[in-house]
Structure 1
Amino acid sequence: MASCLTISAQPPAKSAEPAKPAEPAKALEYVGSETCKACHEEIFNNLQKTPHSAIETGARRGWDQKSCESCHGPGSKHAESASADDIKNPAKLAPGQVDRTCLQCHLNQNTPVGRLASGHAKDQVACTSCHSVHGAGGAKLVIHNKTEINQKCSTCHLTQWASFNRPYKHRLPEGAMSCVDCHNPHASFRDDTVRTAFGNEPGCLQCHSDKRGPFVYEHPVLRLEGCTACHDPHGSANPRMLTRHEVRLVCLECHANLPIPVAQPPSLGGVPPALHDLRSPRFQNCTICHTKVHGSNVDRTFFR
């Protein structure tokens, strides 16, 4: 028996249609602050009470009527989608990116000199950690009230702030001074963001100018180590904010001539050494005689 094999003809396969080219991404455009205000009216109104309002009305930096987008970038996509993912939010950026956003305008001003090399920058403290960009509640971007400045600094510098509970201190808690009277939060030519007074001298001399000199007879420790060699500027349990509870103990850190245990390395005997037997009660209050310990114009021993 013969079998029949029927082969049906298949229609030719259709050639695949060429894929349509993807539409190019829509270019982001600036939409202006009035568009932002439609949803963010409270933030916009607060901004008008701050120095940043100058961005909105002045064309000097090229952001006339686009102040919001000077920090947040072009807002066209965000205005269409109302999605937080479609706009630059500095609050979600790394500290370095936040700083670069601020320095677009503030790079050539005097406040951020050395900002990127300062201790705050190295510790990843962004500009917005201390500054309120929108000026919530009408607050100034740079707080001028001394109490508010101190409270802001104290949120991070807890140990230093605790020192102001000691009996001898600068009057920061009372609002008579602020942290930025002595420290430049953006940077300094000295350690710990300490401000300088005259040239590269310690900022303490800005107020305590009678200790400045130059003197005919200088006390070298002031030039080499500064005021903190003898004083604790944040607060002390000792009168005159000294680092030791007796004046002589401060002096003995450099001018000792007392014998030391054999197990200890040999002592230099002080630089220069004390000329008295400091075990005698007669010589245990150095400043009774050496009254000009900060420097003198008439006596190399600082008697007067």
Structure 2
Amino acid sequence: MSKNAGSIRKWVLALLAGAAFIGHAYAAKDVVQVGDSVCTRCHDEGEAKPVLSIGQTRHGTMADKNAGTCTSCHGESPTHVSKPSDVTERPKPTVNFGPKSATPIDERNQVCLNCHQGGQRTHWQTGAHAAANLECTSCHKIHSSEDPVRDRQTQPDVCFSCHKEQRAQVMRPNHHPIPERKVVCVDCHNPHGSAGPKLMQRDSVVATCYTCHMEKRGPFVRSHQPVTEDCTICHTPHGSVNDNLLKQRAPFLCQQCHEPTSHQGTIASTGMVAATNRYTLGRGCLNCHTNIHGSNNPLDDTSNGRALQR
């Protein structure tokens, strides 16, 4: 081999070595999270489930020391990073998510709770979703720049994927403006758990309803007991075929409690007594009892004065 050929060969080898070093250095560089180079050397946007889009979320902010890393969620996963020579298929990460995951659901959710425990998630362990073995990623998209369940325009659709009955109810003629997106599920419910019933945002149904319907709160001189006990005694909150979200139309709804004394038991009757009774005009209790949620009428007459508008 001539000296020129030997020099060229050395120069080419040095160039290749330099390129390999540069490529290795680039592959070892963190992309979106601190320490993610061990993962991003294989995982990129070319996969069926792109992972680098996490850089467009709060979990992928390098400046935030609390944002976590790949390994803080998926574990160190040594056998996944370096496949053992005696296996044909690369093992899954130590903690993996999704419907086919072999990781217990409690362990998957605990990964999230390690950072997100407290506040709105204080009651997660005693909530209905935890009792149903629902994992966080069933609702949330961690690696996606858009999390549908946190967007008011798409959130109800995420909830309706399980709550089919409520989807049907909001399509009834009278409903809370959920299809119009003026009200969404988390305005009333805390999906991460609550001290109140039905995952209410407040400690009771009435307290939650009062956050919007403050005029029904009172105090009144004459209070209607169901109003202070539970709004759902009379109303179907998601939707109804009756006006004002009522479970039944008057007088049938009222007669479930106000029966059979005085005129209250004859409103829905068919007979001469009901036809001539001045209280049964139109057979609607609200013709007279307009302030049904409460009244400041001082008259104390159980037959004529209760909840009248005067």
TM > 0.5 between the two? yes
Determine the structure 2 residue equivalent to 1:45. Answer: 52
Please tell me whether residue 68 in structure 1 is matched to residue 77 in structure 2. Answer: no
- Equivalences for residues 49-60 of structure 1 within 5 A: 49-54=56-61, 56-60=62-66
1:198-217 mapped onto 2 (5 Å cutoff):
201-217=206-222
Moved more, 81-90 or 159-168: 81-90
Q: 1:200 to 1:177 in 2, by over 3 A?
A: closer
Q: What is the 5 A alignment of 1:180-195?
A: 180-195=186-201
Q: CA deviation at 1:185?
A: 0.6
Which residue, out of 124, 146, 164, partners 1:115?
A: 124
Kindly state the Cα deviation for residue 153 of structure 1 after the two structures are TM-superposed.
Answer: 0.4
Question: Is 1:130 aligned to residue 132 of structure 2?
Answer: no
Aligned AA for 2:284? N
Equivalent residue for 1:158?
A: 164
Q: Tell me, yes or no, if the aligned pair for 1:35 and 1:79 is still in contact at 8 Å.
A: yes
Q: Distance in 1 between matches of 2:65 and 2:181?
A: 38
Aligned counterpart, 2:39: 36
The one-letter amino acid of 1:72's match is H
Give deviations 1:69-105, integer Å, cap 9, x for gaps: 1111114432221823353213312322221111111
Larger radius of gyration: 1
TM-score normalised over the length of structure 1: 0.74
Contact 2:74/2:95 (8 A) holds in 1: yes
Q: Distance in 1 between matches of 2:81 and 2:105?
A: 26
* Count of aligned pairs between the two proteins: 248
Question: Residues 268-293 of structure 1: CA distance to partner in whole angstroms, max 9, x if unpaired?
Answer: x5xxx766743325322111111111
Aligned counterpart, 1:296: 295
Question: Post-superposition shift, 1:200?
Answer: 7.1
Q: Is 2:52–2:143's contact at 8 Å kept on the other side of the alignment?
A: no
Q: Do the aligned residues in 1 keep the contact of 2:74 with 2:93 (CA within 8 Å)?
A: no
Match of 1:17 in 2: none
Partner of residue 183, structure 2: 177
Mapped partners of 2:60, 2:171: distance in 1: 40
1:212-223 maps to which residues of 2 (within 5 A)?
A: 212-223=217-228
Q: 1:103 to 1:33 in 2, by over 3 A?
A: same
The answer (yes or no) to whether the contact 1:119–1:193 under 8 Å persists in 2 is yes
**1:262 aligned partner:** none
8 Å contact from structure 1 (residues 71, 90) kept in 2: no
Q: Give 5+ residue unaligned stretches, structure 2.
A: 1-33, 84-88, 301-305
Q: How far 1:68 sits from its partner (Å)? A: 0.5
Question: How far apart in 2 are the matches of 1:125 and 1:76?
Answer: 28
For structure 1, the 5+ residue unaligned runs are 1-30, 258-268
- 2:242 maps to 238
Same amino acid, percent of matched pairs: 31
Counterpart in the other structure of 1:100: 110
Q: State the distance in 2 between where 1:200 and 1:234 align.
A: 13
State the partner residue of 2:80. 78
Change over 3 Å in CA distance of 1:51–1:133 after alignment to 2: same
| Shift of residue 125, structure 1, vs aligned partner | 1.1
Q: Distance in 1 between matches of 2:239 and 2:206?
A: 21
> Comparing both structures, which one devotes a greater share of its residues to helix?
2
Q: Quick one: distance in 2 between partners of 1:84 and 1:114?
A: 34
The separation in 2 between residues aligned to 1:126 and 1:276, in whole angstroms, is: 51
The CA RMSD over aligned residues, in Å, is 2.4
Instruction: Letter of the 1:239 partner, please give it.
Output: D
Distance 2:158 2:265 in 1: 49
